[in-house]
Structure formats: structure tokens, C-alpha cells
Chains A and B, each alone.
Chain A
Amino acid sequence: MAGYVPSTIEERKEMLKVCGVESIESLFEHIPDELKLKYPLNLPSGLSEMGVSRTMQKIAAKNHVFANVFRGAGAYHHYIPSQVKYITAKEEFLTAYTPYQAEISQGLLQSIFEFQTMICELTGMDVSNASVYDGATAAAEAIAMCRDRKRSVALVSDCVDPKNLQVIETYCEANGISIRSLASKDGKTDINALEDELNETIACVLLQQPNYYGLFEDAEAIGSIAHDKGAKLIMSVNPISLGLMKTPGECGADIAVGEGQPLGIPLSFGGPYLGFMAAKKDLMRKLPGRIVGETVDVDGKRAFVLTLQAREQHIRREKASSNLCSNQALCAMTAAIYLSVLGSKGLEEVSKQCFSKAHYALEQILKIEGFERKFSGEFFHEFVTSCPISADKLLAELEKYDILGGLPLSEHEILWCVTEMNRKEDIDYLIKAIKEVSQHAVDL
């Protein structure tokens, strides 16, 4: 018997009798015959659990998992503590819907409340929502929060991840916000260009910190210039860097967003990931999506509940602040567990190791002939180097060493990423491989 229908044939007959019909088909009689499928769907026959397991494992085996990953560019390879996987597999969390019935969803609601608190602590902001789809949609939703009647232009730094920019453009094109790009200089947002671009139509400035090239932006200065002209500052931040880095709150940001994938979520070919959004208190009612608040029950007992729902689609319909309904709840819980397991000291240590190892790797790469650093500023765990041979060629050769090298940005430029996952010996192995490949290319 295929499928997950528990009723026996006999039971089905009994049920049909209660309904007063002869066959299941009778229950579909009101569907016009001309519409009904005349033939079975063109799908394979159902498989047993063992059969489907074999088939899927065969498909998974067609992928290659690299032993050494030096690629980031928006998706980061970090260690995931064992606790994270086991706790998120708890079936109560896994199989629940959005916690509409608070009385039987306190566990889920409290976990979201704890997540919101941790995001506020990480970012230095006042309020956080319960998550959105990913870092890109978080940035797009943040821009929509800043728009008002007079201000409908968003300035987006050239150093924002281009994949995020694509999503932002799609969202803004739809809701009538114009995007203007903010020029860069030496891999960082150009402050002089910012002063030229700002005027009374600019709703906000979006920065990524550290930016797409791994560099730290001068966020505080940019924020204060933006604020002088009445524009808001949105910072898209890497949460791991916040173990060390000045918070968006300290930089004067009005909204902090980011991709939460580095917080215990596997690379997973791009998803599910986690968008987080936090804001200053005065923007609280403009935040999209679910928000959990603390309250009491009729007995005065502390309890948690979905709140500020007057913003949301099921109440406001076409006047809602966003259409968000399902978000990434289990990914938010994943991040909260990750942060609990690591604690502030652990997170700081991950951050330190990423920072130091990336600096060690850069130092070693620069010792190889023909490799130079592209930009000069302070960086976190990603950096861009030139590559004397074709970047595609180098990266293809590195695959033979079971190394996923950096991301090629152009024919002779590579964006590298180093995390706590890359041991010193792995970095040294990368250096050896690059040397051999580039030497071999020169010999040819």
C-alpha cells in the first residue's frame, strides 16, 4: 500500500456509507466531467520506503562535497554543534504550524521570544521580528519600511552582495521604490559619492558590513551623513562578525538585517536559510512579519503570544505592512540554539578564528608570485586577490585537490573566504596546491 492513508478499505466503505454515497468518486461529482483528468497523471509508480531511500541516495551521490571549502560570498561553511541538529529535530517543533493557538504553543513562542532577544543583543537594536526568508529578502523588506510619501529612493552601496541587490531590485520595482547605486572606491562605499547623492527624496542608505569583498565599511560616518539629510541607515550584517564587530546599533543604524545561515544552518545548496530583521523602537510598528510579545494569562502567569498583528495580512489584507505569513521559524530556532551553545565567548572565539585564519591565509597567498591583494582596507574573513593565471583555470585545477577555492569575480580576481573550519594544515595545503597549479601553468 502506497502513501500514508491509515484507513483500511473496510473503514473507507463504512465512512462512505455514513456520507450517504456509494463510492469516493461520488464525492467529486460536482466537479464538471469535462475538467476531470481522463488518464492517470504521468508520474512513476509509488516506491517503498527502502526504494525511495535508495533512489534519493543515488541522486545525492551525484553531488560532490568538497573536503576543503574556501568559498563564501553569501553562504558560509561553519561548524554546527551536535546539539543544534538534535534539538531542531524534536517533532513538537518540527511538526507544529505557526503558533496561532498560544495556549498550546508556549514552547515555540518562548523560543521565538528568546531568538528576538538574541538578535537584539547581537545587533544592538531594540526590537526584532521572528524572521523572514533570507538575508536578501530581509534587506528588501527593510527598504520598504523606510519609504514614506516624500522619500521613495533607496541608495544601495555598490559593495552589497550582487545577489541581494537582484532581490532588492525585484521588490523595489514592484512597489515603486527607485534604487540608486552608491559608488565605491577601493572596495568600499565612497563617502564623497554619498554626500553628492543625498537629498530630500532619499529614504535610506543600505550598507553591507563586512561588505561583499569582506571589507569593513566606515558605517558610523556614513550613518551620520545619511541622518543629517534625513535618510535612514540600514545595515546588512554577518552575524558571526558580530562576535567582535561594532554593532549596527553602535553605528547608528535604524534597521539591522542579515543572513542568519552562518548561525548553525548548513549550506544546503542555498536554503532553507534565515533572514533576520531588527530595528530601533520607533520603527517597531513598521516591521513586517510575525513578532512575539510577552503578556500574562488570566491567572497572571507569564506567557507569550503573536502580537502587533494589526500590521499583518490576515487582519489588514491589502493595507498590511507585508504579505509575510510563513517565515523561517525552525531556522530561527536553529540560530537561537547555536547562539546558546556557543554563548558570547564561543561566538567571539568563532569570530576571532575566522578573522585570524583569513589573515593568515591572505598572508600566505600573497607570498605566491603573481597574487596580490585587490583592496587595502581592514577585512573580516573574506578578501579579494588577483590571480596571475585564469581564475577559472586555477579553481578547476584546485578541484582535483578536493578544494572548493574562492569565487571568481572576474577573469583574474578571486574572492576567498576562510572560517574556523579551515585548519592551518588545510590552509597550507591550499597554498601548496595554488603554487603547484600556477607553477604548472607557467611551465606550460
Chain B
Amino acid sequence: MQLIFEKSKEGRGCAILPEMDVATTEFPVFLKRSTAPKLPQMAEVDISRHYTELAKCTHGVNDGFYPLGSCTMKYNPRINEEMAALKGFTSLHPLQPEHTVQGALEVLQLAETYLCEITGMDAMTFQPSAGAHGEFTGLLLIRAYHKSRGELEKRRKILVPDAAHGTNPASAVMAGFTVVNIPSNEQGCVDIEKLKEACGDDTAGLMLTNPNTVGLFDQNILEITKIVHEAGGLVYYDGANLNAIMGIVRPGDMGFDVVHLNLHKTFSTPHGGGGPGSGPVGCKEILAPFLPRPTVDKVGDTDWSLAWNHQPSKSIGAVRSFYGNFLVVVKALTYIMSLGQQGIREAAQNAVLNANYLMHCLSDLYPMAFDRYCMHEFVMTLEQSKKEMDVSALDIAKALLDYGIHPPTMYFPLIVHEALMVEPTETESKDTLDQAVCILRKVYEEAMEDPSGMHQRPLNTPVRRLDEVGAARHPKLRYEF
């Protein structure tokens, strides 16, 4: 495929702007760039075709099954897009007077109310723009809490299970903490004894996903949050896996003090090839004074106001300009309104049903890392086939590409060797799951018949396995003209 720069031709272009209708003021020569940027010179039709060609080489949820564990690749309803494209939302300047943006503030306020109800939290900020950004924000709240109690100097440690997402420890370090890894037990859950040993008066908090990254609900959760609280720490809920439990159990009731959500996972807003997402952070009352400003407050009966600075502020400040990825919040709100009380719960139930069904249909061939009912996702381990036949998780994943399935998450969580983490989501039909089962079984048979052939897969994709080592050793990060 040619790069857009290789298609560019001097003299081509699109007619976009009208003629200048005021006298030209000459741009000062001493401030002028010496050469024009080399941007593509293209006719409209060729730009369209260029991107259509790129789209054909991109696999999205709408192209096929996408069971990427921990990413909740559910269907992204069209109506969400249409509502977020309403001019009444897209054309608002973020610094317009409050009385001209009452609808936008209502969106933020409704989303806060609904998401607090779903999570069992008391207040929420929408500034964080992604899950990792939410983690950072949540940890800053924990930090501000300890600081306000004069304990920040001694409470420097954030406990993170070894099964956690990589963003957890990275966010903790960004927020100025040191990380203590907590080993998992044989069931893939938090090792209570190890947790007790690690907790002390230097504990700032614990970050946890529940259901955890192996797709299991940690039954000891109340004890876990109690241990941390008794040590004077707070407990952070990584909301990446909320899809399994919406309407069934709430982080707030499990003892969590602060949560982040991934609206681009659980609440059906599209990932856009890596963003924009939205990572709102909800918290219990004790942390609310530290939330980023502004928050949305009610004035009188019907009006909303942006509260920038009410009291001598304890706020952690801002983590992003303005109010976050607002249009993503519009999409998530549309989704919550569509599903409503029943639909939210049904989504979680069917996400769990689909995962268990898929797991049961595969477990005679693919060894499962944990032998019990799973929540919304499950982890297979190819450790044995790697040892015996040199067929790795990567080989299986790459073979799936030949059949139009996006592979599961590979090599995560780190506590399972040769892991493939499968999350089908609730928006896949039994038919789709049955087809996926056939394909996965077929790939397994192919591996048995010709193990070394698996290293050649995929065969039918636009490009085949890449030289990733070469890419990192000799970085070529832009087109050279």
C-alpha cells in the first residue's frame, strides 16, 4: 500500500476556503517558517480512496468477532454516534456562559447520577480521558486524602496484585507512590496472608480489579477491603471488568473507595483504534472534596452550574483541560438510557453467559487456567502445547487471523503462562460463538497435524508476521521524503 505522501502530486488539492474578504496583512518575515510543511497534495477522490484502502486493512468490531480479553469489545450502537453528532453538542465552545450550555451540564450530571448508582459511589469527575488517566486521577485522590490527614509522608506504598493491568503500577509511580506487588494464590485471587503481611502504616492503598484479570470474582473481597481499611489505606477499583457485574453487585458495596470506569469498554462507546476513550472517576463522600474542578452543581430547581472553586479548595486541580472527552460521555449516556435498569443487568448476565458457554465448548481441547465458572472472560493456557509441540499462544492467535477473528489478548495476565484471554461480550449471538468454537477447534487440529506450520501463520492477511525486533532496533518513525 502506498503512503499518502507517495500519492501526492504538486498542483493537486481541494477547494475548501472562500477568498479572503478583508485586506491581507503581511505576516512578519522574521516570524515566518523557511519552508512549507510537506503535506499531501491530493484531490478529494484520491483522499477518499486512500482511506477506504486503509479501512479495508483494518479489523473492527463491525468486521467480525473481537474477543479481546479485558477490552470489552462489544457492539457500538449507531444511535450513540448520531446523538454525539448533534450540533447542540458538537458546536459548543467549552467556555460559553453557563446558561447557554445547560443541556451539556445536564448530560454530565445525568451521567454522574447513573454511573454513581451503578458503581455505588457518591460523586464523579469526567475529566480523565482514558482508563489509565482515571487510575492516575484516582490515585491522586488517595494521595490528597492522606495528605489532608498529615499521613502522606509515611503512606507511600500502593499495593498491586501481580495479575493487575500494567497501567496500575505505572499510574501509581506517576502519582508519586512506590509499588508493592502482591502475589496471587493458586486460584488466581489475592493471597490474603501475603496481603496482610504487606499492609501496614506505610500503606496508601490497594488497586484491584474484581472480577480480576483471570475472569474470576474474588470471593474474599470484603475481607480484602477490610484489611486495607484497617491498615489505614484506601481501596481503588480498576473498572476495566465492570461489564461482568453491572446491576448485580457494586464496587461501592464491596468496600471500594474510588473507581474508574472505561466508558469505551463497558458503556459501548467505540475505541476508535485506540481512543478517544473516557475514564471517569467515581468516589465515596470522603474523597469528593479532592475531585478535580469544576464539578457540576445544581442551582435552584432546574439549573446547573460549573463549580470551579467553592470553598478553599482541597481539589487535586485539573488532570485535563475543560471537562474531559465530553462527546464520549454523550454516547455512554445514550447507551445507559437505551438499556435502562433491566438492560444494564441483562448486559452483564449475558456477558457472563457467553463467556461460560464459550469456555465450556472449548475446555476439552484448550486447557483453562482455572477450573471454575468464569465471569465475563476466561483465560486459556497453551503452556502444554508450547512444551510438547512448540505451538505457542502467539501461534494460535496468528492462525485465528486467517479466519477473520480478532485474537484474544495474548500473554496476559502475566501469572498464566502462554495465556490467551477471551472476552466474547454480550453482544455476540450464539451463532457467532458457535462459529468461533468451530474455528478455534479447527485451529487446534491444524496445530496437532502440523505444529511447525503454525509458525508461518497467518497466511491470508494483508501482511504476514512482522519483524518487530527490527522495527525497534532501527526505528523508522516517519516517512522520509
Contacts and interface: CB of A to CB of B under 8 A. Distances in A.
Contacts of A305: 466, 468, 471
Interface stretch (A107-115, A145-153, A200-208): A107-115
Interface stretch (B227-235, B383-391, B421-429, B438-446): B421-429
Contacts of A102: 463, 466
Nearest to B101: A63
A116 B477 contact: yes
A136 B321 contact: yes
Contacts of B270: 94-95, 330
Given A103-B398, A293-B472, A341 B47 contact: yes
Contact of A28 (B56, B248, B337): B248
Given A41-B345, A298-B465, A303-B463, A91 B334 contact: no
**Which of B114, B318, B345 has its CB near the most chain A CB atoms (within 10 A)?**
B318
Interface stretch (A189-197, A226-234, A365-373, A419-427): A419-427
B76 A95 contact: yes
Nearest to A46: B340
Contact of B54 (A103, A107, A352, A360): A107
Nearest to B350: A5
A360 B268 CA distance: 47
Given A297-B466, A331-B275, A167 B319 contact: yes
Q: Name the interface size band of chain A.
A: 35 or more
Contacts, number: 665
Interface string B86-117: 11111111111100111110110000001001
Contacts of B320: 133-134, 136-137, 167, 271
Contact of B272 (A2, A74, A128, A329): A329
Contacts of B41: 343-345
A64 B463 contact: no
A250 B31 CA distance: 10
A41 B353 contact: no
Given A4-B427, A117-B479, A268-B92, A299 B464 contact: yes
A357 B20 CA distance: 9
A97 B71 contact: yes
A394 to B, nearest CB: 13
B167 A325 contact: yes
Contact of A93 (B60, B86, B103, B117): B60
B20 A352 contact: yes
Interface string A364-405: 000000000000001000000000000000011001000010
B464 to A, nearest CB: 5
B31 A303 contact: no
Given A295-B476, A349-B17, A423-B21, 7 more contacts: A46-B337, A94-B81, A96-B60, A101-B406, A297-B463, A347-B37, A353-B17
30 contacts: A15-B357, A24-B350, A37-B248, A43-B118, A46-B340, A56-B86, A71-B95, A91-B63, A92-B58, A93-B54, A94-B60, A96-B271, A98-B271, A104-B462, A108-B274, A133-B325, A174-B136, A174-B174, A244-B32, A268-B90, A270-B322, A295-B471, A318-B173, A323-B173, A326-B264, A327-B274, A329-B274, A330-B270, A344-B39, A399-B100
